[in-house]
A = this chain, B = another copy of it.
Amino acid sequence: MRERDEAGGGLGRGLLPRLLGYHLRRAQVAVFKHFAASVGAEENITPGLFGMLVMIAENPGLSQSRLAEAMEVDRSTIVTAIDQLEARDLAVRGRSPTDRRSYCLALTDNGRRALRRMREAVLRHEEEFAAHLSPSEREELIRLVVKLYAGRDRP
């Protein structure tokens, strides 16, 4: 399930291997493929939809627009995603009690059960995917990635 070590092996890559952005993209592609082949194959879910289910579970009354902001996606992406979660009986939209133009999101009973199974599958995927790193390397990698995108050490 791991991507080939040398995609396009033997080709010159010029300055690309000096760029963080290049390596982050390759890592992102690899982790997405591993997720698809493990969690995705078992539970028919993408990392993005899984993240949304977690956020809905953790934040009762969460609005669609705050979820979009938290997931760093645009409005049309979130609408499509929530449509999918509703069609699969994993989540529902309700009218916000404070703002009639706004939706607040909740998991269904089925969604709560599915999320429990998915969490286990995601943690197994994470462990397998990071198997080449020691626990301290994994922690250090997370620390450096967070420092890169958030501009500071993890809180």
Task: Point out residues on A near B: beta carbons under 8 Å.
Answer: 2-3, 5-8, 11-32, 35, 47, 51, 54-55, 57-59, 62, 66-67, 69-72, 119, 122-123, 125-126, 129-130, 132-133, 137-138, 140-142, 144-152, 154
Point out the residue from B11, B70, B130 that lies within 8 Å of A20, measured CB to CB. B130
Query: Other CB < 8 Å A-B pairs besides A17-B154, A21-B35, 13 of them?
Result: A3-B72, A8-B55, A8-B69, A16-B51, A20-B31, A21-B47, A23-B142, A24-B27, A25-B47, A30-B149, A129-B148, A132-B151, A144-B144
Minimum Cβ distance to chain B for residue A123 (Å): 7
Residue contact B144 to A140, C-beta cutoff 8 Å: yes
B132 touches A148 (CB 8 A): yes
Contact A54 B13 (CB under 8 A): yes
- For residue A132, give the distance in angstroms from its CB to the closest CB of chain B: 5
List residues of chain B with CB within 8 A of the CB of A25. 28, 47
Q: Kindly state the separation between the CA atoms of A26 and B145 in the bound complex, as whole angstroms.
A: 9
B-side contacts of A17, CB under 8 Å: 154
Q: List 20 A-B contacts (CB under 8 A).
A: A5-B150, A7-B69, A11-B58, A11-B70, A13-B55, A13-B70, A14-B54, A14-B55, A16-B55, A20-B126, A21-B32, A21-B125, A21-B129, A24-B27, A24-B28, A27-B149, A30-B148, A129-B148, A132-B151, A140-B140
